[in-house]
Amino acid sequence: MDYTTFGRTGLQLSQLALGTGNFGTGWGYGADPETAIAIVNAYAAAGGNFIDTADVYQFGQSEEILGKALEGRREDFVLATKFTNGAAPDANRLVTGNSRKAMVASVEASLRRLKTDRIDLYWVHHPDGLTPIEEIVRGLDDLARAGKILYAGLSNFPAWRLSRAATLAELTRAVPIAAAQFEHSLVHREPETDLFPACEALGIGVVTWSPLGGGVLTGKYRKGETGRAEGFGGNVFQAENSPQRTATIDAVLQIAEETGSSPDRVAIAWAGTHGAVPIIGPRSLVQLESNLGAAALSLSSDQIARLDAASAPTDVPRRSATRVVA
């Protein structure tokens, strides 16, 4: 697996991140601990070094499994987790949201579950519609100065909030907003209009989730499989509900056939051509091994152009066909 320098940090991250939303069964859909640890082992063996989780994933089970999986090799990975929603389905309002109180309570709980003394990259999971960005920036800086976190990032924040937070952090000499995470795939290209340009201008590292559109880009739902169409209550899923999406999936399947590869690898490889670190979120070793193949897949400029043309919304400018080849 190749590695990339992440934003304006000194981190060297693997080109694919391992997402662990499927680690555990607290949500009624996911992988048991034995399978999850086997996935971590296989990801590490392939050269992966960037693991992404959250306190809310499987109501804390994901972090607990990772705490066990990383014992004795913690320094081999960049470990990222998130807060905002809390780790319990009935979490108290004082430990949810983005207030400094919730932030401190959440980081301490995550440290215990992860069995570590600090979090490498701490994400604010999403805006809570209440906490001022000044409070978030100051809170993250406090955690960094206390040695609880090394880098700070914002997940699922709009470009204007991200830009304001990065500017406030710079002006107040707080810990920088080093990273942004958001959904991006061939069926969700809206971030190309604002989030990607903002991150490039501000030197913010980009991590993208759901490069398979909840699995729709694999074409498996055409065969009657359910997956995330039903798992997680149908959340984090993009349906094949328009002629354009049908054309996009058709293009992915065609290019997979041309390259002797698989649709998931084509979709993930395309996501990696935007300067981001895509997150793969396998539930089984079979899914992981297939996803990891994207790291070795090189799409031609013509293939990228065809995928771009099939999937481009009218408000997303098309890029040059000679831009970046995975």
So what's the pLDDT on residue 308?
A: 97
Q: Indicate whether 325 belongs to any domain.
A: no
- Residues 6+ positions from 45 with CB-CB distance below 8 Å: none
Q: Please state, in angstroms and rounded to a whole number, the distance separating the CA atoms of residues 231 and 58.
A: 12
Q: Indicate whether 46 belongs to any domain.
A: yes
Q: How confident is the model at residue 323 (pLDDT cuts 50, 70, 90)?
A: very low
The answer for 173, left when phi > 0, alpha when psi is -120 to 50, beta otherwise, is: left
Q: What string of DSSP letters covers 248-317? A: HHHHHHHHHHHHTS-HHHHHHHHHGGGS-EEEE--SSHHHHHHHHGGGG----HHHHHHHHHHH--TTSP
Helix (H) / strand (E) containing 2: none
Mean pLDDT of 26-41: 97
Mean pLDDT of 1-16: 97
Q: What is the pLDDT of residues 204-241, one digit of tens each?
A: 999 999 999 999 999 988 876 666 555 555 566 678 77
Q: Indicate whether 123 belongs to any domain.
A: yes
User: Which phi and psi (to 5°) does residue 92 adopt?
Assistant: -65, 145
Q: Please state, in angstroms and rounded to a whole number, the distance separating the CA atoms of residues 156 and 190.
A: 13
So what's the pLDDT on residue 158?
A: 98
Domain hosting 162: range is 3-213+274-296
Per DSSP, 18 falls in state E
CATH number at residue 11: 3.20.20.100
Mean pLDDT, rounded, of the chain:
93
pLDDT of 325 strictly over 50: no
- Based on the structure, what is the number of domains in the chain? 1
State the pTM of this model.
0.92
3-state secondary structure of 50: strand
Tell me the angle at which helices 243-259 and 263-271 cross, rounded to the nearest 10 degrees.
Answer: 100
> 225 versus 81: which is more confidently predicted?
81
Q: Indicate whether 252 belongs to any domain.
A: no
Q: Please state, in angstroms and rounded to a whole number, the distance separating the CA atoms of residues 21 and 228.
A: 12
Which of the residues are catalytic?
Answer: 57
Q: Indicate whether 262 belongs to any domain.
A: no
Please say whether the beta carbons of 63 and 57 come within 8 A. Answer: yes
Q: Indicate whether 265 belongs to any domain.
A: no
Q: Indicate whether 324 belongs to any domain.
A: no
Q: Please state, in angstroms and rounded to a whole number, the distance separating the CA atoms of residues 165 and 290.
A: 37
The answer for 284, left when phi > 0, alpha when psi is -120 to 50, beta otherwise, is: beta
So what's the pLDDT on residue 220?
A: 85
Please say whether the beta carbons of 102 and 95 come within 8 A. Answer: yes
- Residues 6+ positions from 155 with CB-CB distance below 8 Å: 82, 123, 124, 125, 126, 180, 181, 182
Please say whether the beta carbons of 179 and 7 come within 8 A. Answer: yes
pLDDT of 26 strictly over 50: yes
Q: Indicate whether 288 belongs to any domain.
A: yes
